[in-house]
Amino acid sequence: MAKKHLGNLFILSAPSGAGKSSLYKALLAEDSMVRISVSHTTRAAREGEQDGREYHFTNIDHFLDMIAEEAFFEHAQVFDNYYGTSKQAIFDMLEQGLDVILEIDWQGARQIREQYSDAIGIFILPPSIETLESRLRGRGTDSDEVIARRMSKAVDEISHYDEYDFVIVNDDFDDAFTQLRTIFTAMRSKTAVMKEKHTNLINDLLSL
Ligand SMILES: Nc1nc2c(ncn2[C@@H]2O[C@H](COP(=O)(O)OP(=O)(O)O)[C@@H](O)[C@H]2O)c(=O)[nH]1
Ligand SMILES: Nc1ncnc2c1ncn2[C@@H]1O[C@H](COP(=O)(O)OP(=O)(O)O)[C@@H](O)[C@H]1O
């Protein structure tokens, strides 16, 4: 990569219903230095979702064209749909010093780590399987059949938790959010990041 990336790249994964969207939305609302990467997906929009906000909703032919053009940083099939992260927008934001969150599954997380070893992985766990199911039902967006499939996929997703740098149990929302915010704050003080951000200060101090 030619340019230096001042922002951090975060990967946020969790089984559906664990609360990752609620957590990252709370962070975006209070931290102007954080952005979410908007993925492409072939799944249908849910009520209340807007094209370009939650996802770029697209059809399978266009998605396959984007794969062929190597437009994706990573892509994966989750349930019966394709999901992918396009490259350019992310690198532009990192170069501007913004922290970028990728809300992707474990398959995508592996592809990102292979290409970008500085990516910081955070896995959100539900406090129990029963709570996970009741949160999915409470969200009211999925049929019984879809919920049953999400629950069977949940165990598969959770089995990859130890491939991540941090794990947060989302039981009490405020506690989980505090942990998430603390990780973001701490990562901004990494020596490599500070070295780039405060080059002039460090040069001044060393020239005494
Ligand atoms: N690999 C990959 N996974 C994604 C991407 N976008 C979303 N996902 C994952 O796809 C799964 C289903 O997402 P979605 O249909 O929005 O349902 P949700 O988990 O209930 O929000 C989740 O595990 C997401 O993390 C992406 O760009 N790449
Ligand atoms: N700590 C929590 N306590 C209670 N309900 C929660 C908590 N975190 C999230 N929820 C609720 O659970 C449901 C699923 O959360 P959501 O953020 O959509 O999960 P995900 O993005 O991981 O699929 C939503 O209705 C959300 O309001």
Say yes or no: CB of residue 139 within 6 Å of ligand 2.
Answer: yes
Q: Which of 15-19, 40-44, 71-75, 139-143 has the lowest mean pLDDT?
A: 139-143
Say yes or no: CB of residue 9 within 6 Å of ligand 2.
Answer: no
20 is in an annotated binding site: yes
pLDDT in tens, 22-78: 999 999 999 999 999 999 999 999 989 999 998 999 999 999 999 999 999 999 998
Ligand 1 atom at minimum distance from 17 CA: 20
pLDDT of 202 strictly over 90: yes
**What is the pLDDT, as a whole number, of residue 2?**
47
| 156, HSE (Cβ side, Cα atoms, 13 Å) | 11
16 is in an annotated binding site: yes
Distance separating alpha carbons of residues 22 and 68, to the nearest angstrom: 33
Note the ligand closest to the C-alpha atom of 153. Answer: 1
Distance separating alpha carbons of residues 25 and 35, to the nearest angstrom: 10
DSSP helix/strand/coil, 168: strand
14 is in an annotated binding site: yes
pLDDT of 87 strictly over 90: no
Distance separating alpha carbons of residues 183 and 187, to the nearest angstrom: 6
Q: What is the ipTM of this complex?
A: 0.90
pLDDT of 171 strictly over 50: yes
What are the C-alpha distances in Å from 166 to residues 62, 72, 112? 35, 25, 16
pLDDT in tens, 122-137: 999 999 999 999 999 9
Distance separating alpha carbons of residues 111 and 158, to the nearest angstrom: 17
**What is the pLDDT, as a whole number, of residue 79?**
81
**What is the pLDDT, as a whole number, of residue 1?**
45
List the Cα angle 188/194/200 in 5-degree steps: 145
Sorting pLDDT into bands at 50, 70 and 90, what band is 141?
confident
Which one, of 73, 65, 67, lies nearest residue 1 by Cα?
73
Distance separating alpha carbons of residues 46 and 151, to the nearest angstrom: 19
Say yes or no: CB of residue 134 within 6 Å of ligand 2.
Answer: no
Structure token digits, residue 110: 């592996």
Q: Where are the beta strands (DSSP E) in the chain?
A: 9-13, 34-36, 39-41, 55-57, 72-78, 81-86, 99-103, 120-125, 166-169
15 is in an annotated binding site: yes
Sorting pLDDT into bands at 50, 70 and 90, what band is 89?
confident
Note the ligand closest to the C-alpha atom of 150. Answer: 1
**What is the pLDDT, as a whole number, of residue 111?**
92
Pocket test for ligand 2, best of 23, 124, 131, 139 (most atoms within 8 A of CB): 139
**What is the pLDDT, as a whole number, of residue 3?**
57
Distance separating alpha carbons of residues 145 and 148, to the nearest angstrom: 5
**What is the CATH T-level fold of the domain 9-37+99-206, as seen in this structure?**
Rossmann fold (3.40.50)
**What is the pLDDT, as a whole number, of residue 6?**
84
Pocket of ligand 1 (CB under 6 A): 13, 16, 21, 39, 43, 74, 76, 78, 83-85, 103-105, 107-108
Say yes or no: CB of residue 150 within 6 Å of ligand 2.
Answer: no
Helix (H) or strand (E) holding 182: helix 173-187
